[in-house]
């Protein structure tokens, strides 16, 4: 289905989400639902002769099923799962050595920002933050020792869009640089960065892919055999692997991903349009609305948009606080991508670790409210926003 001029969705996505890796024939009992295999060790026929599993950290059947299904959704060859999104990030960055350099998107998920500035910097790896909405700035930030470019699109919380194909062309003029794209905000249903030239797609599965706000997990998807071998080695040697139970949960969440994403998009657009008309709103940031400065670019590289949007409420911290604490259907809280609607104040929550002058320069001010629009009835969500606006000015 093609929505509002976005790329035409490829056929077969929902079928892959339901069937890839889930063949009943792979289990001797022919069960149609993947079992939760808790065993941490596996019987060997003779020393190092086994059926592909030796020890729970290096490989687990419940995890393998999820990794196969996830990779198929990105049209990728390999998937690897980790105990959280940041565990996946730590593992990817461990491809690098002291002396290496990373070019990073400046409008970045708060946790990734903290990982880089508080932990990775101490390993003598340096980085340059750039506004990758302007691909030429990525080009000019590349140094002799650059080994990785890390972008996020759409960005959090400002919904900036990076031209993945253009950045990938810049990066791949250098053989030794890897392009990583954090695709958490759209999921593989709405964007497939490997097809646009990325080397590795990064996910916090905690968000849309699981979609039920009850699992922390991360994943990497890639095509290169060599990258897969190196990352699979690191997955085992760093050891940040997810539990079999959680793999089962995310695999189950994927079964409704296509349906959920369509509804997140519909609800998000309805709310974006409502907010645009509201007298107490200064500006709405939603890549699926024609008012977004990169609306055309978003439509040219994605299949749609999720339930993520931000808006500037008229006023400052006081108005934001009043508005947010008046919400009744939206929950004030961190995270995103679940079935329930969430609202947050990035400046005081996810982006609190960022120096205030950087926050203000980027536009992450105290009147910027971010919404993760869930799967409730759109009318009920709009009514909730409406009563919270009224409470703000009363």
Ligand X SMILES: *Cc1c(COP(=O)(O)O)cnc(C)c1O
- Chain residues in the site for ligand X (CB under 6 A): 84-86, 109, 111-112, 152, 156, 182, 184-185, 204, 206-207, 216, 218
Q: Which is nearer to ligand X, 111 or 333 (CB)?
A: 111
Q: Is there a contact between 219 and 79 (Cβ–Cβ < 8 Å)?
A: yes
Q: How far is CA 205 from CA 46, 219, 335, 387, in A?
A: 37, 7, 11, 33
Smallest gap from Cβ 120 to ligand X, in A, equals 14
Tell me whether residue 102 or residue 281 sits nearer to ligand X (CB atom). 102
CB of 88 to ligand X, least distance (A): 8
Burial of residue 45 (number of CB atoms within 10 Å: 0-12, 13-18, 19+): exposed
| DSSP conformation letters of 220-265 | EEE--HHHHHHHHHHHHHH--PPPHHHHHHHHHHHTTHHHHHHHHH
Taking the CA atoms of 165, 167, 170 and 175 in sequence, report the sign of the dihedral they define: negative
Q: Identify which of residues 86 and 149 has a Cβ nearer to ligand X in the complex.
A: 86
Q: Which is nearer to ligand X, 146 or 155 (CB)?
A: 155
Both tokens assigned to 357: 């002058």
| Nearest-angstrom CA–CA distance, 193 and 199 | 8
* CA 244 to chain CA mean position, Å: 21
The tokens for 66 are 């999820």
> Residue 26 contacts by C-beta under 8 Å, 6 or more apart in sequence?
none
The CB-of-218 to ligand X minimum distance in angstroms stands at 5
Is 352 within 8 Å of 108 (Cβ atoms)?
no
In angstroms, give the least distance from the CB of 84 to ligand X: 3
Whether the Cβ atoms of residue 315 and residue 389 lie closer than 8 Å to each other: no
Closer by beta carbon to ligand X, 135 or else 154:
154
H/E stretch holding 391 reads helix 378-393
- The nearer residue to ligand X, 152 or 384, going by C-beta atoms, is 152
Coil, strand or helix at 55: strand
Nearest-approach distance from CB 52 to ligand X, in angstroms = 27
**Cα of 20 vs its chain's centroid, Å:** 21
**Integer CA distances (angstroms), 374 to 153, 208, 262, in order:** 20, 10, 11
Q: Which is nearer to ligand X, 65 or 181 (CB)?
A: 181
Residues belonging to the active site: 57, 109, 182, 207
């Amino acid at each position: 289905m093609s929505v509002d001029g976005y790329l035409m969705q490829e056929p077969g996505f929902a079928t892959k989400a339901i069937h890839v890796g889930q063949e009943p024939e792979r289990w001797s009992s022919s069960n149609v639902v993947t079992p939760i295999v808790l065993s941490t060790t596996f019987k060997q026929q003779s020393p190092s002769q086994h059926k592909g599993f030796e020890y729970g950290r290096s490989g687990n059947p419940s995890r393998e099923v999820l990794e196969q299904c996830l990779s198929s959704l990105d049209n990728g060859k390999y998937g690897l799962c980790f105990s959280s999104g940041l565990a996946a990030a730590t593992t990817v960055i461990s491809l690098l050595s002291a002396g290496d350099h990373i070019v990073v998107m400046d409008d970045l998920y708060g946790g990734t920002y903290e990982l880089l500035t508080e932990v990775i910097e101490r390993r003598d790896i340096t980085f340059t933050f750039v506004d990758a909405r302007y691909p030429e700035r990525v080009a000019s930030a590349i140094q002799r020792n650059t080994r990785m470019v890390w972008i996020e699109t759409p960005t959090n919380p400002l919904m900036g869009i990076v031209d993945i194909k253009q950045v990938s062309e810049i990066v791949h003029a250098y053989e030794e640089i890897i392009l990583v794209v954090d695709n958490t905000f759209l999921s593989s249903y709405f964007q497939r960065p490997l097809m646009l030239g990325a080397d590795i797609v990064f996910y916090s599965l905690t968000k849309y892919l699981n979609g039920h706000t009850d699992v922390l997990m991360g994943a990497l998807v890639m095509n290169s055999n060599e990258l897969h071998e190196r990352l699979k080695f690191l997955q085992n040697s760093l050891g940040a692997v997810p539990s079999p139970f959680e793999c089962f949960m995310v695999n189950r969440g994927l079964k409704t991903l296509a349906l959920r994403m369509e509804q997140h998009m519909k609800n998000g657009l309805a709310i974006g349009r409502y907010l645009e008309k509201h007298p107490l709103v200064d500006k709405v940031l939603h890549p699926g609305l024609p008012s977004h400065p990169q609306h055309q670019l978003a439509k040219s590289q994605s299949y749609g948009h999720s339930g993520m949007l931000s808006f500037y409420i008229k006023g400052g911290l006081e108005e934001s606080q009043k508005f947010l604490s008046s919400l009744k259907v939206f929950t004030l809280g961190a995270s995103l991508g679940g079935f329930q609607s969430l609202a947050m104040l990035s400046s005081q929550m996810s982006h609190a670790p960022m120096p205030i002058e950087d926050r203000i320069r980027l536009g992450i001010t105290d009147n910027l409210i971010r919404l993760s629009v869930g799967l409730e009835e759109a009318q009920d969500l709009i009514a909730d926003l409406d009563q919270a606006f009224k409470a703000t000015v009363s």
